[in-house]
Amino acid sequence: MKKIILAMIFLAVIVSITMVSGCKEKGESFVLKYNQLENEEHPQGVTETAFAKKIEELSDGQIKVETYYSGTLFTQEGEVTAMMTGDLDLSTLAFQDMGPYLPAANMFAAPYIFTSYEHMEKVFALDSEVAQEFYEMVSDACGYTPLAAMTQGSRTINTKWENPIMTPADMEGMILRMPNAPAWIDAGKSMGGNVVPIAYSEVYTALQMGTIEAQDNPLPGTYAMKFYEVTKQISLTKHIIDVKLLCVTNSVWEKMTDQQKQWMREAAAYACAEGSKTTYKQEEELLDFMKDYGMIITYPDVEAFQKHSFNYYQENGLTKEWDMDLYNRVQALK
């Protein structure tokens, strides 16, 4: 009888431990708000949709996502603050958004740090020590944690001017729109433009009215916002491979179990790959579209722009805030 009682007690303890373990593993359920600035067809929109579906699938509904496209929940400036305070749970953010809080991020925002898509993908591969080290730096400085990287294309100079933009000298006097953040403004100046910061949603009207004469964006962004309707030329400077990091606010991340974090990383890697895949396809198609539309397509002296840009950063002491060890490791992955 004693053996039966002991066996029953032992079984009850095992069941209890299993239940507690199971509850801990399951963790809290989440409904996360995801905001980004582009529409659903844009590579960032594709990334958002793919992530929302994949994380719900992987977590069996434990983690669900409310999607907000085209900046319907937060503007470009507002979403960065919201991610830092925890008022927004997820977004795809730029290095330029991180620069004011993590100066080393500005080196990733500088023109020509990545020489090709292959180079960029090596830097942000899942097993990349460089990426993981940088993600930890962002988490500590900004209050949100990057999970994976996608690209929305190579940024080009899109202008109302018809004279070919072949070198930085050809941009002298050009009023170039850039987002209102120091790293964006420096990038524009380093290319030779006179920079005016304007909100993304106001760029079309500013080009139409002549308040600005040019804007820089990858082809998918130029197409999505219809900037080609109010400009004449695209110079394929490809000065910045425009990387966005899919980030989660730390106030959410720190509540998640290890299993949930694994699901989040897996969903993010999948979604970012889908977004980048869309970018590569769209860029091929959109160059033909722009030509057919009547846009002047210019193939500039990229080396001249690269040299001019790097000299600007050195002459203005901007490389002093870079993490040169990390920079050199990035360049070693070419």
Residue ranges for the chain with pLDDT beneath 70: 1-26
Predicted local confidence at residue 278, as pLDDT: 95
**At 211, which amino acid appears?**
T
Q: pLDDT (tens digit, 9 = 90+) per residue, 92-114?
A: 999 988 999 999 999 998 999 99
**CATH topology identical between 30-152+243-283 and 156-240+292-331:** yes
Predicted local confidence at residue 96, as pLDDT: 85
Sheet order of strands, 233-235 included: 194-197, 175-178, 214-217, 156-159, 233-235, 296-298
Q: What is this structure's pTM?
A: 0.80
* H helical segments located in the chain: 2-26, 43-58, 76-85, 95-98, 106-109, 117-123, 129-142, 182-190, 203-209, 219-224, 250-253, 258-293, 302-315, 324-331
What CATH architecture does domain 156-240+292-331 belong to? 3-Layer(aba) Sandwich (3.40)
Q: Tell me the C-alpha distance between 231 and 175, whole Å.
A: 13
Predicted local confidence at residue 25, as pLDDT: 53
Tokens of 103: 């100066």
User: Do the Cβ atoms of 231 and 179 come closer than 8 Å?
Assistant: no
Per domain, the residue ranges of the chain are 30-152+243-283, 156-240+292-331
Q: What is the DSSP string of 101-129?
A: T-GGGHHHHSTTSS-SHHHHHHHT-TT-H
For domain 30-152+243-283, give the fold.
D-Maltodextrin-Binding Protein; domain 2 (3.40.190)
Predicted local confidence at residue 6, as pLDDT: 44
Judged by DSSP in three states, 28 sits in: coil
Tokens of 203: 């760029």
Predicted local confidence at residue 13, as pLDDT: 43
